[in-house]
Structure 1
Amino acid sequence: MVLALNFDEIMQACKEHYRPFTGDVPYIRKPRDLIRSIAAAAGDGRRPVIAEIKPASPTAGQIRQVDDPAELARDYEASGACGISVLTEPRYFRGSLEHLATAACVNVPVLRKDFLFDVAQVRESYFYGADSLLLISSFFHDDSLAHMIAACRDYSIEPLVEVHDLADIERSRAAGARLYAINNRDRHTLQVDRSRTARLAKHIDGVTVSASGISTVAQLDEALRYCDAALVGSALMSAREPGEMLKTLVYGGQ
């Protein structure tokens, strides 16, 4: 079943079903550095790709049954991923925090991807093994985004701040963002426009990741003309052999 929801509706549903994480989480591990991992991939000749574990989406419905997130994460790592993104939103993307914890067995940074809005979710993300997490800029006021970014850095987590337009970029810059994701998918219509990457990247002072709508080496190379890395999810999850497809993206044509 395909769920025709936009980002605002999903966020509202997440807030309605939210149960705050209440655990006390001491700082006992240093998160892996996604910015450094992106640079390392480019430095050793790989195309920097953050490979995603995404069982479903509102536009595609069920994409792939994920019985062993650790196995898929290790496959991605062996195939050259500079990072691994794990969906944890359960209702529309069929992810889970257990997927995150299991996938964190790898040696590359692991990103928690969800519709996050509360500082308690930063502690929760760290507890379950995240090295970075996604913050969608448009869902925050300036002060609240800065507060979330600061909460992340209390745990040495550098968040990936998602932007869709110039207003998002300015809000994120003012809040202190260093790592940006340009989402090519419109948050209202869910339609993909890959040209958004080129339009917005020139306005960003920071490390940039192009996300959504990338499924070929040509599309990846176009994104990397403007960004430091790309995030690929649905294309990998719908492939017969996700690791082999990732190898093609990371190393193909080289």
Structure 2
Amino acid sequence: MHILQKIVEAKKLRINELKKIKSIEEIKKTAHTVKTSCQFYKAIKRLPQEGIKLIAEIKKASPIKGLLKEYDVLKMADLYVSSGADAISVITEEDFFLGSPSFLVKIKEKYPNVPVLRKDFIFDEYQIYESKLLGADAILLIGNILNKQQCKFLYELTKSLQMDVLFEIHDEQDLEKALFAGVDIIGINNRNLKTMQIALDTTFRLKELIPEDKITVSESGISERTHVEKLLKKGIDAILVGTSIILSNNPSQKIKELKLT
């Protein structure tokens, strides 16, 4: 079984357990009462003369590298905010990335005005309502694990709850799903899901096919100033970076380097 399928299967089991504790009807009612404090879209939309926007990620581990580093999530968020990150991405997937929904709740409580993206493997409407209750300003939808109809349904549901969507694509087929759903923010993941190799060329190739009115975000493998300079030249709005900041000896300096400041 492919790693992506394993993650999705584990997530299905967790959702089934959550549904036993709180039904979809209960979570729906509560979610509609929660107000969203700020907009992710506005924070990462780059104006013509502006530098690249940075979404800094709270990431404990990955299926490929295992545990990256032990650190205090709130202290890392403090560092992200003080160093000029435009938004924070929080991985909440528990089994393979050692994330937790509680990380997002804590960060949002401390920084209500900083846009926070919930990064997880989302395919069930229950997770959309759950994300709203956690305080997420935006969620990740991964084109590769959804069909066209699911993409459209989940996207429209998320927007109806006043949250934004970062729609992640890996190839032309995923882009087709994104355009079918009518998404406004497209994230290009530079990691090949079959080989797990990373190539920035993926962003350059797919960016050419994306309509000009979409916000484009480059994800995975961005670790140097030269990477960012190339992406900026190609018209990328924002970058999503976790590993290279977390593993840096000076995360604050790494953020400034990637922001080209």
Q: Scaled by the length of structure 2, what TM-score is found?
A: 0.88
Contact 1:46 1:80 in 2 (8 A): no
Deviates more, 1:186-195 or 1:163-172: 186-195
How many angstroms apart in 1 are the aligned matches of 2:255 and 2:104? 20
Partner residue, 2:58: 53
How many angstroms apart in 2 are the aligned matches of 1:5 and 1:99? 27
Partner residue, 2:91: 87
Identity %: 33
Q: Match of 2:31, SS?
A: coil
Contact 2:119 2:139 in 1 (8 A): yes
List aligned pairs for 1:114-133, cutoff 5 A: 114-133=120-139
Candidates 137, 147, 167, aligned match of 2:153: 147
- Does 2:216 correspond to 1:208? yes
Deviation at 1:43, TM superposition (A): 6.8
How many angstroms apart in 2 are the aligned matches of 1:216 and 1:249? 7
Contact 1:137 1:163 in 2 (8 A): yes
Q: Match of 2:141, SS?
A: strand
* Structure having the larger proportion of residues in helix: 2
Deviation at 1:44, TM superposition (A): 7.8
Candidates 235, 238, 243, aligned match of 2:244: 235
Partner residue, 2:78: 74
Deviation at 1:189, TM superposition (A): 2.2
Deviation at 1:45, TM superposition (A): 4.3
How many angstroms apart in 2 are the aligned matches of 1:112 and 1:11? 16
How many angstroms apart in 2 are the aligned matches of 1:142 and 1:82? 30
Which AA in structure 1 matches 2:39? D
How many residues matched?
247
Partner residue, 1:10: 7
Which AA in structure 2 matches 1:190? M
How many angstroms apart in 2 are the aligned matches of 1:20 and 1:190? 31
Which AA in structure 2 matches 1:231? L
1:142-199 per-residue CA deviation (whole Å, 9 max, x = no partner) reads 1111110111012111110000111111111111111110000112222111100000
- Does 2:140 correspond to 1:134? yes
Partner residue, 1:248: 257
Q: Match of 1:138, SS?
A: helix
Q: Match of 2:217, SS?
A: strand
Contact 1:86 1:100 in 2 (8 A): yes
How many angstroms apart in 1 are the aligned matches of 2:37 and 2:173? 30
Contact 2:222 2:228 in 1 (8 A): yes
- Does 2:227 correspond to 1:219? yes
Deviation at 1:5, TM superposition (A): 6.1
Q: Match of 1:17, SS?
A: helix
Which AA in structure 1 matches 2:126? A
Q: Match of 1:221, SS?
A: helix
Deviation at 1:31, TM superposition (A): 4.4
Q: Match of 2:56, SS?
A: strand
How many angstroms apart in 2 are the aligned matches of 1:101 and 1:82? 18
Gaps of at least 5 residues in structure 1 are none
Contact 2:52 2:237 in 1 (8 A): no
Gaps of at least 5 residues in structure 2 are none
Q: Scaled by the length of structure 1, what TM-score is found?
A: 0.91
How many angstroms apart in 2 are the aligned matches of 1:8 and 1:199? 26
How many angstroms apart in 1 are the aligned matches of 2:97 and 2:169? 20
Deviation at 1:108, TM superposition (A): 2.2
